[in-house]
Structure 1
């Protein structure tokens, strides 16, 4: 048995590495993906292109505008003088935010009256717009507090005391770096993509070139055939996990606080599901083109409904229930828990059990379907 599986493994690896394109898919694509998510894909909102439409041009208005620029979140690039200019800047997406201060802004503050500041944001990207408005509210709140404290000092002759001081601290991702959130997740999506695609293509290729029948007339059993077809891609999946982990830790300085052995054990459970789905797709596909399309039909919804980019809690309740059928959802929790939180099986066991049950069920179904297809 083991001798026959060994020969199947050797055959698969020869076929894989004979194709130069396949080498790129296995090793180059994970590197590109982790670099893209490490550098380009970020939810950090900084250096917002900003215009200051200051009709007052007083000391107070200039000081407030300077506070926005000193925050590091806003880059003041334009000083328009008319509403038409502001409209043009927003239409051409040259600015994402506009600070508008009417004439009399400084005089109102000096007289103890409420002065109005208008912040216009480009709402095309609702997420960025919401963050920009929060930044603006914080800066204006701090500026207003400074003015009120100054007035109280004038009235009382001393600084007011008391109040509430807010102390904040982010656990697990102290600097709120979005790459710390995304890079571990790349492990999950890359392993799914590569193992899913390679498994489906390998089995369907045997059908297309007519070697499936030749293999089946050899002494090899169905179980040995399935093991021989899936084990090479499982090993490739582990290799990609190691590759992405090394890049994430040593290049992007993503912390890994948990146990690496737990990561590999969880990866094995996850691979059961991805390889099983790939095998299942191969049984219903007659050509490599069909297999590729079917793989992507499963892959993209799995990524979108996994919590990789969008929080599952924000999805409609019906969609949230559907995500429980998604193995990627569970593996993402495990990977991020190991990398960022350093938690162990005492916390992650529900996700690991879910992957085990799901993997066994999918492999059983795929084997039954595969046996029926061969018959």
Structure 2
């Protein structure tokens, strides 16, 4: 096992870093509210598509649709074209295109802002140059302007993005690592046989090992939440009770991961190696540092099997976007499914080893 880990982890790191890390933002999911329904509005939308930075995912009919799309993460950018867009251009007046960007990830937001402004400027220069029949000077007033707005994090403060994610990562690593050693420590001390001889059932034994770490996990969450809120000034804009409830669910998920690792390990060294092998993909593929939109489809699919991916959506949604359960039910169902599956596998593995 140790030799396999020594060979496998470096290769895992190489492929994850090679394919998973990409700071060049492309194909940001975008929603469009075209109120003009004209050839001119379709042309400017096509300019956004041609830039390859924006990928049109749907049409909006109101600002409520845009708010829901940005809050759930289904879209990262919204393009709003006013009803008088075509008429103003035809009358020689200046028209505007509104671009709304989810600012919860400052890195991709800054690039999206620059690209959106560049697309509008280029389109305006093209229209103006075609009208005059000559090249456009840099100081010319163009007939088209971009009104860029950033939601949820208008000042693009990085710590508003990283601190909620750090809370999730710390909770996962602490609870998973502690639990991974739980059954292994009993094996190394020779006390597992004594536990097996007692009338206690395997499920009761696993629950007995998990309950103390649930308390440890909730205390850890309270500490890091207090530090993030008061020391780093990251306010919880959403429901605190919902955040605590979903943190409890995620702790159960992380404990189940550690317990499953414990059933595969023969000693604490192997348990530590397994925990390290899981932590690395969690950091790279969950959206903790790098936007998931930049990752290849296969890498994004792998990230969907990491519970931290869903919990980061929950944390940033409650911290920054003030969303409720009606926006997060998908992630909650996924974490519940992970918990049930992992606990069941750990129980079956433990019964197999006992038998």
Interval of TM-score (by shorter of Structure 1 and Structure 2): 0.5 to 0.7
Q: Deviations over 1:110-138 (max 9, x none)?
A: xxxxxxxxxxxxxxxxx8xx97xx79x99
Correspondence 1:57-96 to 2 at 5 A: none
Deviation at 1:269, TM superposition (A): 2.1
1:244-323, aligned counterparts within 5 Å?
Answer: 244-323=224-303
Counterpart-to-counterpart distance in 1, 2:142 and 2:298 = 48
- Tell me which residue corresponds to 1:370: 350
Alignment counterpart, residue 334 of structure 1, candidates 314, 327, 341 = 314
> Contact (CA 8 Å) 1:272, 1:363: kept in 2 or not?
no
Q: Which of residues 197, 201, 225 is equivalent to 1:217?
A: 197
Report if the CA contact (8 A) 2:182-2:209 is conserved.
yes
Structure 2 residue runs without a partner (length 5+): 1-22, 24-106, 122-138
Q: What TM-score comes out, normalization by structure 1 length?
A: 0.56
Match of 1:16 in 2: none
Matched-pair contact (CA < 8 Å) for 2:164–2:319: yes
Q: Which residue in the other structure is 1:200 paired with? A: 180
CA contact (8 A) 2:182 2:259 kept: no
Change (3 A) 1:186 1:160: closer
Aligned runs of 1:1-375 on 2, under 5 Å? 163=143, 166-375=146-355
1:168 is paired with a residue of what secondary structure?
strand
| Counterpart Cα distance in 1 of 2:339 and 2:248 | 10
Whole-Å separation in 1 of the counterparts to 2:147 and 2:296: 34
Q: Distance in 2 between matches of 1:353 and 1:240?
A: 24
CA RMSD of aligned residues (A): 2.7
- Per-residue CA deviations over 1:292-339 (Å, capped at 9, x if unaligned) read 011111111122110000111111111111111111100000010000
Aligned length: 227
* Residues 278 and 295, structure 1, Cα contact 8 Å, conserved in 2: yes
Distance 1:333 1:284 in 2: 30
Secondary structure of 1:228's match?
helix
TM-score by length of 2: 0.59
Structure 1 unaligned blocks of 5 or more: 1-42, 44-126, 142-158
Alpha carbons of 1:204 and 1:167: their partners in 2 closer, same or farther (altered >3 Å)?
Answer: same
Q: Go from structure 1 to structure 2 and tell me whether the alpha carbon gap of 1:210 and 1:257 turns closer, same or farther (over 3 Å shift).
A: same
